[in-house]
Structure 1
């Protein structure tokens, strides 16, 4: 259950030590207990639902722990985005919509707390019920729930939304395929019965956006367009110009402003996003005072670029927001649908050729550590050395179908501070020779004499962010006789090409959480080898990985869940699909002195749900 990070986004280090047993969820009425099939139902709608044990917040909680319930309301902020948009339909694969649109204008039945992995609290729903095996779930809508046009949110809206979304976008189709029936069982209650064991399904459905059915009658949800979708969220779209800006205005009649999960959240009166073609232009706009908020990904630039007059005068504040979430993965992904990248030895050779220490020092001053696994920096990350205990027991049945190192241990190669890492080049050349590649007249060629040439696809924003590192890597590949070209395209072309997997190698980011679940199948499942629009950019087809994901979804034991994630982490790393870069344990944010955030930071840190959600404007 992972949110898309800043596009997604386009889903932490807290250990899960919760008691097992019956799964408490909310009763239909506050203060009541009920029995359903022998399962004790919780004591009120605020209790929410958790994957394991009970939600941490009491029934009478005032606000989320990282929100300030007394935050001032009002104020306007301006934020930059190196991106573009040509559509206001965020649910179709056609066109590109503003990534903030769904979050700011739509609501789901439940909402998450960034301090609790795998826990949801009521939002459009006032209560949720399920049985001990999670074979069904019921949501009862809050009678006050309204869309921005004043119409009530109904069960018909919920049913239509879930079915329609599954038809137009694979992000929603996987979980919906596990729904055997969806029916209205009361004036405000909808029941979903499942055909597949999957304990996360009630939570997944709880996070589906709910659209107004009436708005879409006679319209194609799968089509791109500039019709503003009607939602029930805190903001409405006030104005926009495609590719230039969009302004969100707080709905003064927002029905959910007094719910405990929303107190101290969504405090700004207006939020304006300005779109830029590159990060340099956006930064100059911030320096000039035309923007109020700027994230700086580069630790080197963080040290040197923020000495401009407004910063020296105290008008701009520099904040570092720490987090305890997994590193996730970011780096260059190899498309194994291409014949050049099918052999794991070739992929390992390309990893060997990436001299991390030299590149990190040159680009970042060596400040940020390397990503060592997909879930590193968390209890879910794989442990070094051979697999042991329950992790090994989960992997052993698949030992003949695992990539080398998954059981015995896999780690990234060492590197040097010298641009020429001769040892790494020798190892890479040996692997390439074993895979059937030979150097002829200075070029690496296959058995048919065809040279090893490929293209690295980057968007314009990525070129500015990581172009220097990629260029150093391209020079290193020449020492192997490999020719790599860098191709830069605009953001719309980039989305279109990556949705079709039309690339050899490209920049790849997957933000991962402490609550991985069904989205992992979208990231690594075999359907993505041919199905467009998934997140399986590497073209991975691994039955062992899918078995680990199923274990994650089926188990009631937190320790078994952790073992399954660690086993999956081993398979992903040993698969050698991505050349990992670095990650930061803090987000570096420069912002106007008028922008404030609570002292208590969520475990996820600067994650969707933190900004602009719990920030406020103060004179």
Structure 2
């Protein structure tokens, strides 16, 4: 070793330490792959808000079904849909960027260069609604409580966290079991922080209607159990002037009335009983809003561009059931759904048939696997369906006439290959049992979609029983996996990651309440999910997602439904919204009431006696 070399080694080590320190310097924002965030450290507000929006008034919303709990974190009860308004998370995920987080409860954050830990520095101004400061102990308590007593989702979502350290009263660090999971620091920023002192005297696992303590913009002011709830803006809310909150949460009051029937809710909206509706029915959108109020401009209909991947909605097979374990059976049943007829006759041509679990994005697979995808798929060739490598997946297509003889012939051939047969006009499975399928349903509107599907199945001797239940029964049966088929959705973001474990990984298949509705336990898919999560660049993330997409599609685990690339929004004209909508959200909480608008009258539900004290 030369003298020059010996002199350079300490200098190189020092430079390396400086580089690592620079990478771990506290930041106002964090992105998935270290790219610059859209908004700089001194930004005043997001570009999709009106920072001078008028404050005040009441936003009236509707809820679906009913609720019996204010605890959305446990696998018990039906939580009120808007309870997140009372809470804050460590960071705020910008709906204007694929995956960027900005400081909220944590004003600064830093992560290791090898992604083996993340540290959050809490804002000293952060307070719960009772005036107590939000501390690192609260963060640690929240994480440990959610992962030990909360919904099983949290255990899988945060499974790679080894330890949580309180380094100072306002500094907390999460240490990971291994490096490489670039998403984990960001998703820990999504952690809802609960007040340790408040929960010390309560049973976290018992869902009830006691209004919880939070640190968010609203608190629960009044409720009528299972029917309505009123949130009121916290007058001295600590976070009102943060850049991430400026122009947000402009209403003094948010009131939610619950409706057991979707048709009744629609009529209530048109009668002016609530202010805003996100329409999910193509038929309603095409025919139900032609009212004098719409013609007079008092009721507004608008379609807002949705830049999110559409995800996959479909008729989901529960492959825990023996009759659905053969992929030929699942493919055959899928052939009997006539989307083209439904789109023309029921949906007014509004939808596109889904061809991917990541439609409406660059993440969707198409054509045959390219060389980069093949590098991922080839080691798993023996475990994957052969057509992953030889065919482009396309959902079955009919001529829309309602006559699907060709599809029925192909389905019958697949049933025969699986050992099924028809005797006395009844389809018998491989064990000689008549085939009956129970389709669990909570959405009334889907019955008209399922009835033609039922007839097509009946033509081949298969009985489809549509079992519609109320919200509570539905939730309980989903959690206990007590269904044959159901309408399921697998929402996706522009940056898929740890949530894929809860959708497809073996570790979530037997976890009550996980979103592994299918019951997937497939080593090849496990490997594809794990590789996706550990992708170290956007390019690799896209490639791994496309590879996973192919495996899921050719497994025929769902009968793909349809998607649309807009949000269909209707609202009364006393509401006003910013000129620009964020790319990945409707942005409802950036809206405001026009100053000249009259305060809407209370409904009967709002006037009912309160089941909880005023706070």
Alpha-carbon shift at residue 312 of structure 1 (Å): 2.3
Aligned pair partner of 1:615 in 582, 588, 591:
591
Pair 1:300 & 2:283 matched: yes
Q: Post-superposition shift, 1:64? A: 1.6
Q: Does 1:76 align with 2:52?
A: no
| 1:96 counterpart (78, 86, 99) | 78
Distance 2:32 2:505 in 1: 25
Map of 2:415 onto structure 1: 432
Q: Give, in angstroms, the shift of residue 336 of structure 1.
A: 0.1
Query: Which residue, out of 194, 218, 221, partners 2:204?
Result: 221
1:562 matched residue in structure 2: 542
Q: Which moved more, 1:121-130 or 1:175-184?
A: 175-184
Aligned equivalent of 1:311: 294
Q: Secondary structure at the match of 2:301?
A: strand
Displacement of 1:196 in angstroms is: 2.6
Which deviations, in whole Å up to 9, do the C-alpha atoms of 1:310-329 show, x marking residues without a partner? 22222111111111111111
Secondary structure (helix, strand or coil) at the match of 2:28 reads helix
Tell me, yes or no, if structure 1 residue 493 matches structure 2 residue 476.
Answer: no
**Cα offset, 1:43, TM superposition:** 7.8
Provide the secondary structure at the position in 1 that maps to 2:315: strand
In structure 2, relative to structure 1, the CA distance for the partners of 1:35 and 1:150 (3 Å cut) is farther
Per-residue deviation, 1:555: 2.4
Closer, same or farther: CA 430–79 of 1 in aligned 2, 3 Å: same
Q: 2:516 aligns with which of 536, 550, 555?
A: 536
The 8 Å contact of residues 80 and 275 in structure 1, kept in 2 or not, is answered as yes
Q: For residues 29 and 585 of structure 2, what CA distance do their matches in structure 1 show?
A: 23
State which structure, 1 or 2, has the greater radius of gyration over its C-alpha atoms: 2
Shift of 1:49: 4.1
- Secondary structure of 2:80's counterpart equals coil
Contact 1:552 1:561 in 2 (8 A): yes
Moved more, 150-159 or 183-192: 183-192
How far is 1:274 from its partner?
0.8
Q: Indicate the residue corresponding to 1:259 in structure 2.
A: 242
1:473 to 2:453 alignment:
yes
* Superposed counterparts of 1:323-338, under 5 Å: 323-338=306-321
Aligned partners of 1:202 and 1:184: how far apart in 2?
16
2:115 to 120, 134, 144: 134
Residue ranges of structure 2 left out of the alignment (5+ in a row): 1-15, 597-615
- What is the alpha-carbon distance in structure 1 between the residues aligned to residue 407 and residue 303 of structure 2? 35
TM-score between both structures, scaled by the size of structure 1: 0.91
Aligned partners of 1:36 and 1:131 also within 8 Å: no
Aligned-partner SS, 1:273: strand
Who is 1:112 aligned against? 93
Cross-structure match for 2:7: none
Residue 3 of structure 1: aligned partner: none
Cα shift at 1:39: 4.2
SS of equivalent to 1:364 = coil
Partner-residue secondary structure (3-state), 2:209: coil
CA contact under 8 A between 2:29 and 2:100: conserved in structure 1? Answer: no
Residue 373 of structure 2 corresponds to residue 391 of structure 1:
yes
Equivalent residues in 2 for 1:567-586, closer than 5 Å: 567-586=547-566
Asked if the contact 2:262–2:444 (Cα under 8 Å) also holds between the matched residues in 1, the reply is no
Q: Counterpart of 2:345?
A: 362
**Which of 504, 516, 526 is equivalent to 1:524?**
504
| Residues 37, 131 of structure 1: 8 Å contact kept | no
Q: Which residue of 1 aligns with 2:12?
A: none
Q: CA deviation at 1:153?
A: 0.2
Moved more, 309-318 or 387-396: 309-318
**Distance in 1 of aligned mates of 2:425 and 2:232:** 60
Task: Give the whole-Å Cα distance in 2 for the aligned partners of 1:39 and 1:524.
Answer: 37
Match of 1:25 in 2: none
SS in 2 for 1:161: helix
Q: Secondary structure at the match of 1:256?
A: coil
Instruction: Give the secondary structure class of the aligned counterpart of 2:244.
Output: helix
Which is worse superposed, 251-260 or 193-202? 193-202
Match of 2:233 among 250, 264, 280: 250
Query: Could you say which residue in structure 2 is the equivalent of 1:55?
Result: 37
Q: 1:360: Cα distance to partner?
A: 1.4
RMSD: 1.6
